[in-house]
Structure 1
Amino acid sequence: MENAIDDLKYSLHKGFIDRSIVHQGHHVPKLLINNAEENVLSTVIDELQKCQSFMISVAFITESGLASLKAHLYDLAQKGVKGKILTSNYLGFNTPKMYEELLKLKNVEIRLTEVPGFHAKGYIFEHDQFSSLIVGSSNLTSNALKVNYEHNILFSTYQNGDLVHRVKHQFTDLWEQSTPLTPNWIAHYREVYQPQAVQRVFEDSQRQTDLINRVDEATQIQPNLMQVEALQSLSSVRARGEDRALIISATGTGKTIMSALDVRQAEPERFLFVVHSETILNDAMRGYQKVLATEPASAFGKLSGQHKDMDAKYLFATVQTLSKEQIHTQFDPAAFDYIVFDEAHRSAADTYQRIFHYFKPQFMLGMTATPERTDDLNIFEQFNYNVAYEIRLQKALESEILCPFHYFGVSDYVQDGMVVDDNSQLRYLTSDERVKYILDRTHYYGYSGDVLKGLIFVSRKHEAVELAEKLTQQGIATTALTGSDSQQRRNTVIQQLKDGEINYIITVDLFNEGIDIPEINQVVMLRGTQSSIIFVQQLGRGLRKIANKDYVTVIDFIGNYKNNYLIPIALSGDHSHNKDNYRKFLTDNAPLRGVSTINFEEVAKKKVFESIQSATLNEMKMIVEAYQNVKNRIGRTPTLMDFIEQNSLDPDVLLSKFANYEIFLEKKAQVTPRISESASKNLTFMSKELAQGLKSSDYMTIEVLSEQDESFESLVEKLQARDSEISEADVQTSLRILDQSFFKKGTDKHYGPPIINIKHHGKQIQLSEHFKNNMQNKAFRAHLDDLMQLAHYKHMNHYHNSNSLQLYQKYSRKDFVRIMNWQNDESATVYGYKQKYQTLPVFITYHKKEDISETTAYEDEFLNQDELKWFTRSNRSLKSPEVQNVIHHQELETPMYMFVKKEDADGKNFYYLGTASYMEGTAEDAQMPDGKNVVTMHLAMNTPVRDDVYRYLVEK
């Protein structure tokens, strides 16, 4: 108890009296706003996940705001944690449907106050010995929690404090006077409710959609932000004399209208739009007619099975009809000034190729959401590598071009002790119990709007048909559509969904692309993720904006699939294959900008974590595929930096498999060997020791010495002119690395001869003749320049342009030794900890393997985010000099640096959690399971471990 009170005292002292004190405690008052680094929602979620109960008092609640908490409230319900929400119908802001959503929260009691002018915004979280409060300007709405500029204060108070007593007393008084929320209350409220003119999130794009849908020939369609940028880029491409370009744009971002706007600005004499579906053809022509409103209706025509308007100025053709030789040969190859190929990734098909190579327009535009295909044809090459504009899912969401979404990863149904998944027998996939479970989860997470209009993706046709029958029997009108259904039936069923006559369409892969149903407000994935591309395509079916849809709900039923690691790849758009990136993405409470959220129920998140841990993301097939995709995109052999610039594979993944990039090119890209074996070893040295960008002095030394020889003093001066943070000790360490004296003997067998020579006691430092000769080779020099750029990029972006340890970055033991300028690489002898050179690094693997030796089964444990119970090595006692040095490390002026990783599967790198201090009087002799002596003690973290990192490390 004393520790808890002391912690609060430290926190309040720093927050309200003296901000300069170092030990801040875990409860420092904090200003909560929404910006690029953090938002109010993440703090609310953090507090919910730690609390024993909670009370929320807010005037305004939206369905979207509530949805962003639903998965977390569900997990709390599983743990038996309960809460209360107090709200009102002040100003008629809260909708009847939102109140219905509140009733779904089984662990939350809801009441309504009739206090006039109720405008409260407060969140109270009860813990064991203290309470945390968020008070300020944020209601429980998506905009207030993630987007709006808000002012809230998070602070904590001991349970016996006067302030928390008054706040709880006021809440309790108001609670006792309030009305419980019931279905009858909602029914009455619905009768008197008057919808308010609440601003919707789809304003700009919706106005454009409304204009397109209205029959108003005088209306001038104006481009949205994305379209303005794309149009400017297309004009620049044509100004350079290019005759073709590619637009890469996420589903629902207005590609068709953008192309029409470009046609309007280009003013071609004749125009051709090529599409693979007559349904899309009709939609495209209507859009063009609205954009080109000054053109007469007779200027637009179709070329399809039923229509042959060959002379139209603006011709819209299906590829199936136009590709016929007797059709396209009726046109002069130069008949059209401007041609658009919709869904350009399909251009590998023979039908597209016949059209593509026959016509010779002045300008050709390809449009696609997914250019990375496995087809032999390279569509980037087709359009001369001119990517005029690219907007992927994450950017489109940030720009508010797409409808926001709330993604929920939920665990699939467990039957007979087994999780149902794609490999289960059909009778399990469509059992009554699973259907009930599906309906329970889809009902809980709900949808935006008045009527459910959803898409369900499954893995088998028979599953689609049987599930449709079962859902219909449960009162949820559902129809299955498969590839065997005619286009006419598809159109009929789609219209039924739009009109609200049915609630769900169930399909396999039929609606991955090309189908435009803006009314969809729920997407359900009842299948494993086989491809991140297909995942995004299916997610994208619900992202078009339309009136009365503030967001789309995406419910992903996650089974025991080995490909679950593809989920964070798809949702993040990160194709680095860096496991740590994906783990961070899963632990971040708000990884997307805007009001969209990504939520995993706890059990489902564990399944994804397990998949990431077990996946081999540096498989040769993956590396070669990433290489080929980047090469296709840029039209040349990519550099390592190209992988980063094209949002592709993390070069570290490639270099974990190959000693250097040249070896990969020789073995897997059929590049003829271009450098000597000795030069290759030097590349290996730079790839393994310099490319990480750990210290700027490492790679800058090579850059300086490439210009001329230097003395130690002049080298330090020039390096410090480039980076003032570089110390003489940093330069000394870098020189020992570059001349290989830092490493154990025999390193040159793998790294080749040292790349620098140091003569006359540092009076002359120069590149070695061997290295200079290597630099005369163009291929070697290109690799060297690439590695120097990569090191600079990582130093700036991973280590924030700093040569010292950065909080929450990951480091190996060897990285620590280098950063702290130890004389030699002694990382192999550090083990769990080592006190040397006035430093005391401590490395902890938090979750040990079950089969670990009893002599090393240390039970290091975080007691909270400020305090760690730590074990010394075995065969140690309180009298051991080593232990005494640890206990007195502060008096010895030896900082204790804490590094922790979750488990061995995380690899050799540990999160740096800052420094810690021994807590006086906590050291005790103890025994290991094998009977050997050990000392335990408590360490105070000088900086409390950040919530998301703490949860990730501690959770099993």
Structure 2
Amino acid sequence: MSNLINKLQQSYHKGLIDKYSNYNGKFKPELLLNNEQKKQNVLTSLIDELKNCQSFLFSVAFITESGLATLKSHLLDLHNKGVKGSILTSTYQYFNQPKIFRELLKLKNVDVRISDVEGFHSKGYIFQHEDYATLIVGSSNLSAHALQVNYEWNIKLTSHDNGELLDYFQMQFNELWNTSTPLTNEWINQYQETWEQLQPQKVAEMPSSYNSNKVENALTIEPNSMQVQALKGIEAIRNQNQDRALIISATGTGKTYLAAFDVRTVRPERMLFIVHREQILQKAKQDFMQLLGGNENDFGILSGSSKQIDRKYVFATVQTISKEDTLQQLDKDLFDYILIDESHRAGATSYQRIIDHFKPEFLLGMTATPERTDGYDLFKLFDYNIAYEIRLQEALEEDMLVPFHYYGVTDLEIDGEVKDVTTFNQLISDERVTRIIEKIDYYSHSSDKVRGLMFCSTKKEAKALSEHFNHRGIKTVALTGDDLQEVRQYQVNRLENGELDYIITVDIFNEGIDIPAINQVVMLRQTDSSIIFIQQLGRGLRKHATKEYLTVIDFIGNYQNNFLIPIALSGDNSQNKDSIRRKMIDTSYIKGTSTINFEAVAKERIYQSIQTANLMHMKVLKDAYQTLKMRIGRIPLLRDFYDHNSIDPTVIVDKKDNMLDFLQAMKEEVEAIPKHAQQILTFISKEVLPGKRKHEIILLQSLVKSGSLSKNTFIDMLVSKGLPVDDQTIQSIERICGLDFYTEADRKKYGNEPIVEVSGEGYTLCEKGKQYLNQSWFVQLIEDALYVAEKRSERFESKGSLKRLEKYSRKDVCKYLNWENDEHSTMYGYKTKHQTCPIFVTYHKKDDVEESVNYEDTFKSPEVLHWYTRSRRRKTSQEVIDIIEAEEKGIDIHVFVKKDDDEGNDFYYLGEAIPDQSSVEETKMAGKNGEELPVVTMDLHLQESVDQAIYDYLHEDIG
């Protein structure tokens, strides 16, 4: 019986007969659901199958633009690999819009046909692999909501090529396919005529009049969920007799409306709203009129030639109101409520002049990006009163913004060869312009008409690209800081009215401009700042009746700063390379129907950038430290970095041994502690703070509080938390806290004395440690490190001693498999001890690795690793026999894999494995001098399949 058939039988036994079966292979039947809490959706399964299939068939009644957008980059990668597919869809109920058929025609590797079967309503996906096929059949059409959000039921089945069910599916598909109409432009034109005749006629909207908006009408407009929470936060600050507050809210989440709601609540006698660009004055004024109601004469503009300063509600540009002659005419108590839009600019002299002049009863600042690179302390200006904060990910989750599909694409490719775009001539070359046009056409946009913004590097590039695009029939204009406000507004109006396809600019539209109709943002420059990246992305995130989603196309060159892209998209400020890699591997942090997609080469460039980036450079850490210090208004501790999603505390203690060392490196004047006390702090920071096991954290927290703890009480505490309390685990904890586990070098580093004394009664802090408890600064630093350890330990909670898919070093593995000593330096690729055998695999070896250790370990599938022992080993070697007979001997084999040495010392834990004894083979490998060395190879069957995203990351050769 073939191995595949055996796996299929085990899979169906588990799925259809015995749910308690131990088999966890990838072929077991599954019910596919969309479940945000469990990070599950149907789309992930479709993409996993697409990545590895040899061909595919879709039979779906309904297809939406956003649904197809979720797959476009994957379909393009398949095209580049020569993989083709077929899509069968329909005209049922004329649901499918003509534009989606035009988008389907762009797929070079997909044949599309249209069935005219009455009531065509199928939703099925078939993926052909070698010798087997996967079927996903159920309720999900090819729409973003059906694949990611809606409550759907889909069954996933795997069939051998000889299976009757698969044969029946394919026969049904082929019967319909052979009688269906091939998709052509001519067919689409005919369909569009009929489709348009069936659409309800739209009634033109009349412009709203604000000459008099009744208050009762205004009061019918209610805040959204974000605004409700923000208003409560502002009110809470006022109730504390504070007179200023700051709102941090992502672009497009309704900050102006929020301000108007608060003004509606407070009802000030006079209000001043300050903006830095004239374009948004009228819009802000209209928003306030709509929410506050009353007569238009209550609302005035102070800008340029308009001097309506006597109105109840004044909307002013900072440029006008900050003039000395203007301020001299205005009493300091004239306004009892002042709002500053884009308040991160408040460090400028003009803003400071205004703030110093007026004395309002309440000052409210609003910004999407409070972090500054100019050293100005925005948080101090608002007395560190952050009333509410909502960033991009939360705003998407709350459905405040339009979903987006981000595509990271390769910048330039000529004759199949990737080129680096470095000179001006390359930036505006015909080849690059052609490349840009191909990508903006392929990835397209929501709605029939593109309204796009392109961001490039220089004014010269913007103007030259605009000329090229216009010559090619794409209507564009270049706008830079040299253009007057009137010119900018005129061109924005043209874009909104459909007279332009794109505005090409450098950075003048990063903020302070409101063009909700934008449905495509194109980034043609390298990412130098995650703040600017989000500002530019945010230009298209406002909701608008004409669009369902935003398309973002980012042309990724061979830039050193590419690592900033996943940082910007995820909001991950940890400076932890592993955390940033995971944001590339798993993009589930983006909520709703938004997706993040990278073409293969673009993805490779980002991984390479992460590998080479120096994220622990002291300047980077110092900037983050100063930003956090400004935010909280005091010297930060490790817990502050953790609680505010700033630098990962493990990065800090990797750079400096403990927080005290780090604060001293930041030139802070902090109290010193004795050398041995600092060594204890270093031990806790290095060995306990990562949080990979809770036992040591619980013991040390208790001892810091009371100095001693009985063993029975300690065990009761562990049991109450569901933690293992076997003798081996308890002895391991005692050896670690007593420093017996460590090498001589580590013991010296940690003070050469036990941190915890063990006796028959229980545990006590070492004598000096108890003395140090009288020093409040020492206790604060220890409790700070243990607080972070406790928080971090939540991610490592597991039934076993190790958490699958978390990362561990060889030293960690010695610890958490309860070995007596740290033997990581002599562990090499594997070692059997204490009925455990950890196996460590570096999947991609460097080119200069010595041949005798260049093992060809490789995944055969997400649950089978083909593995090699050390060289000069035979099937009769005792260490090999122990592994082969591990199941019989009760030896637990644990598999750890990292992609390459650039990842550092940590490996992904893939779980336990069982050797396939039938696969064991003694073979030869090349030695140092060309000699042939014996080596044993075998298949290791993982108890649980590797998650597809991790598997793809490890398995794909992106070097």
8 Å contact 2:393–2:589 — kept in the other structure?
no
Q: Residues of 2 paired with 1:862 and 1:879: CA distance?
A: 25
3-state SS, counterpart of residue 169 of structure 1: helix
8 Å contact 1:419–1:559 — kept in the other structure?
no
Q: Partner of 1:513 in structure 2?
A: 511
| Residue 674, structure 1, aligned to residue 672, structure 2 | yes
Structure 1 residues 803 and 287 mapped into 2: Cα distance closer, same or farther (>3 Å)? same
Q: Residues of 1 paired with 2:210 and 2:409: CA distance?
A: 37
Q: Count the aligned residue pairs.
A: 943
Structure 1 residue 874, shift from structure 2 partner: 1.1
Structure 1 residue 883, shift from structure 2 partner: 1.2
3-state SS, counterpart of residue 332 of structure 2: coil
Q: Partner of 1:943 in structure 2?
A: 944
Structure 1 residue 559, shift from structure 2 partner: 0.3
3-state SS, counterpart of residue 14 of structure 1: helix
3-state SS, counterpart of residue 389 of structure 1: strand
8 Å contact 2:757–2:766 — kept in the other structure?
no
Alignment of 1:110-509 (within 5 A): 110-194=112-196, 217=214, 218-219=217-218, 220-293=220-293, 295-415=294-414, 424-509=422-507
Alignment of 1:724-803 (within 5 A): 724-758=723-757, 761-796=759-794, 798-800=795-797
Shift >4 Å, 4+ stretches: 194-198, 209-217, 415-422
Structure 1 residue 746, shift from structure 2 partner: 4.8
Q: Residues of 2 paired with 1:580 and 1:194: CA distance?
A: 51
Structure 1 residue 621, shift from structure 2 partner: 0.9
Q: Deviations over 1:879-929 (max 9, x none)?
A: 111111111111111011111111111111111111111112222222221
8 Å contact 2:278–2:485 — kept in the other structure?
no
Q: Deviations over 1:152-189 (max 9, x none)?
A: 11110101011000000000001111111110111011
| Residue 829, structure 1, aligned to residue 830, structure 2 | no
Query: Gaps (5+ residues) in structure 1?
Result: 199-206
Query: Gaps (5+ residues) in structure 2?
Result: none
Structure 1 residue 713, shift from structure 2 partner: 3.6
Q: Deviations over 1:495-540 (max 9, x none)?
A: 1111111101101111110011111111100100010000000011
8 Å contact 1:409–1:556 — kept in the other structure?
yes
Aligned AA (1:75): D
Aligned AA (1:323): S
Aligned AA (1:331): L
Structure 1 residues 909 and 210 mapped into 2: Cα distance closer, same or farther (>3 Å)? farther
Q: Residues of 1 paired with 2:721 and 2:702: CA distance?
A: 10
Structure 1 residue 122, shift from structure 2 partner: 0.3
Alignment match of 1:920 (pick from 914, 917, 922) = 917
8 Å contact 1:682–1:753 — kept in the other structure?
no
Q: Partner of 2:84 in structure 1?
A: 82
Q: Partner of 1:97 in structure 2?
A: 99
Structure 1 residues 589 and 342 mapped into 2: Cα distance closer, same or farther (>3 Å)? closer
8 Å contact 1:337–1:362 — kept in the other structure?
yes
3-state SS, counterpart of residue 917 of structure 2: coil
Structure 1 residue 782, shift from structure 2 partner: 0.8
Q: Partner of 1:910 in structure 2?
A: 907
Aligned AA (1:947): Q
Structure 1 residue 943, shift from structure 2 partner: 1.3
Aligned AA (1:106): K
Aligned AA (1:936): T
Q: Partner of 2:57 in structure 1?
A: 55
3-state SS, counterpart of residue 829 of structure 2: coil
Q: Deviations over 1:436-480 (max 9, x none)?
A: 111011100001112111011110111111110110111101100
8 Å contact 2:211–2:295 — kept in the other structure?
no
Compute the TM-score of the two structures, normalised by the length of structure 1. 0.96
Q: Residues of 2 paired with 1:454 and 1:856: CA distance?
A: 53
8 Å contact 2:301–2:316 — kept in the other structure?
yes
Structure 1 residue 592, shift from structure 2 partner: 1.3
Q: Partner of 2:871 in structure 1?
A: 874
8 Å contact 1:348–1:376 — kept in the other structure?
no
Aligned AA (1:898): V
| Residue 820, structure 1, aligned to residue 817, structure 2 | yes
Aligned AA (2:773): M
Structure 1 residue 579, shift from structure 2 partner: 1.4
Q: Residues of 1 paired with 2:67 and 2:707: CA distance?
A: 61
3-state SS, counterpart of residue 290 of structure 1: helix
Aligned AA (2:730): V
8 Å contact 2:689–2:788 — kept in the other structure?
yes
Q: Partner of 1:202 in structure 2?
A: none
Structure 1 residues 682 and 802 mapped into 2: Cα distance closer, same or farther (>3 Å)? farther
Aligned AA (1:539): L
8 Å contact 2:59–2:125 — kept in the other structure?
yes
8 Å contact 2:453–2:522 — kept in the other structure?
yes
3-state SS, counterpart of residue 505 of structure 1: strand
Q: Residues of 2 paired with 1:792 and 1:647: CA distance?
A: 16
Structure 1 residue 420, shift from structure 2 partner: 5.2
| Residue 551, structure 1, aligned to residue 552, structure 2 | no
Q: Residues of 2 paired with 1:886 and 1:381: CA distance?
A: 62
Moved more, 580-589 or 626-635: 580-589
8 Å contact 2:624–2:647 — kept in the other structure?
yes
Moved more, 211-220 or 128-137: 211-220
Q: Residues of 1 paired with 2:754 and 2:836: CA distance?
A: 30
Q: Residues of 2 paired with 1:464 and 1:919: CA distance?
A: 61
Q: Residues of 2 paired with 1:800 and 1:356: CA distance?
A: 50
Q: Residues of 2 paired with 1:702 and 1:644: CA distance?
A: 20
8 Å contact 1:40–1:145 — kept in the other structure?
yes
Moved more, 466-475 or 223-232: 223-232
Q: Partner of 2:953 in structure 1?
A: 952
Moved more, 675-684 or 546-555: 675-684
Q: Residues of 2 paired with 1:757 and 1:498: CA distance?
A: 69
Q: Residues of 2 paired with 1:391 and 1:73: CA distance?
A: 34
8 Å contact 2:864–2:941 — kept in the other structure?
yes
Q: Residues of 1 paired with 2:67 and 2:767: CA distance?
A: 65
3-state SS, counterpart of residue 855 of structure 1: helix
3-state SS, counterpart of residue 936 of structure 1: strand
8 Å contact 1:453–1:520 — kept in the other structure?
yes
Q: Residues of 1 paired with 2:442 and 2:231: CA distance?
A: 43
| Residue 625, structure 1, aligned to residue 623, structure 2 | yes
What is the Cα-based RMSD across aligned positions, in Å? 1.9
8 Å contact 2:561–2:609 — kept in the other structure?
yes
Q: Residues of 1 paired with 2:642 and 2:15: CA distance?
A: 41
Q: Partner of 1:564 in structure 2?
A: 562
Q: Residues of 2 paired with 1:825 and 1:349: CA distance?
A: 56
Q: Residues of 2 paired with 1:717 and 1:773: CA distance?
A: 27
Q: Partner of 1:34 in structure 2?
A: 34
Q: Residues of 2 paired with 1:488 and 1:787: CA distance?
A: 56
Q: Residues of 1 paired with 2:87 and 2:721: CA distance?
A: 56
8 Å contact 1:92–1:195 — kept in the other structure?
no
Q: Residues of 1 paired with 2:154 and 2:766: CA distance?
A: 60
Alignment match of 1:894 (pick from 891, 896, 905) = 891
8 Å contact 2:693–2:793 — kept in the other structure?
yes
Q: Residues of 2 paired with 1:417 and 1:56: CA distance?
A: 29
Structure 1 residues 721 and 591 mapped into 2: Cα distance closer, same or farther (>3 Å)? closer
Aligned AA (1:737): I
| Residue 810, structure 1, aligned to residue 807, structure 2 | yes
3-state SS, counterpart of residue 184 of structure 1: helix
